[in-house]
Amino acid sequence: MKNYGKLITGIIIIWLIFALSASALHAFKNDANRVGVEVAIAAVTPIVVFSLWFAVSEKFRQFALSSNPRTLTSLQSWRFIGFTFVLLEARGVLPAIFAWPAGYGDMAIGVTASFVAWKLADPDHRNGFLLWQMLGILDLVTAVGVGTTAGLLSPQGPSMAAMTVLPLSLIPTFLVPLFLMLHVICIAQARSWKVVSARTRQAASPAQQPAI
């Protein structure tokens, strides 16, 4: 598992370097009032690779599910950077139809991440933990959906061009897929908590029965 951890860390670093390099070369730049297909490919490809790897590789699945859910959830605190969307909207750089739901949604997840990791990341609070993780995914999906349709929903507003160049281009091409993967792993972990708890109680019940 230790070697697997090094492998995953290396893959994430290579992914980040690719996203940075491609952005520096303006591979994602799009002056139209939309996020281009290049950004979409860069965002979707890691998610597809992760999903297939998680589905077919038992070792990778075991490694992912053995990760500390508190640590994975705490990493979502970085979502507080969503406040930059609101600031950029106020300066006329991003359209409000994208900046408000994406910015305030990310801030809400980021602010509550530490509390959820501290108080809800255990079998006794399974439902609350699952709900928060699903809300985090909903926020990401909403941001992506609104970001890709902002030009149609608000054609007279500022364009989404800022999201296709550094530093903001790292959000859709690296951070959004990464945060989505963390949510998926945490949900998969939490879904097993009830089963594990039930098995533990079943195994313990005979020992707790009084002797006749």
- Dump pLDDT digits (tens) for 93-108: 999 999 999 999 999 9
- At residue 153, the pLDDT reads 84
Is residue 29 a part of any domain in this protein?
Answer: yes
Segment 45-67 mean pLDDT = 96
Is residue 212 a part of any domain in this protein?
Answer: no
Query: What is the tally of structural domains in the chain?
Result: 1
Is residue 63 a part of any domain in this protein?
Answer: no
> Domain containing 23: what range?
2-57+68-196
167-177 residue pLDDT tens: 999 999 999 99
Is residue 150 a part of any domain in this protein?
Answer: yes
Is residue 202 a part of any domain in this protein?
Answer: no
Is residue 203 a part of any domain in this protein?
Answer: no
Is residue 210 a part of any domain in this protein?
Answer: no
Is residue 211 a part of any domain in this protein?
Answer: no
Residue 54 has pLDDT above 90, yes or no: yes
d(CA 196, CA 191): 10
Q: Would residue 32 be called left, alpha or beta, if left means φ above 0 and alpha means ψ between -120 and 50 degrees?
A: beta
124, 131 in Cβ contact below 8 A?
Answer: no
Give phi and psi for 141, each to the nearest 5. Answer: -65, -40
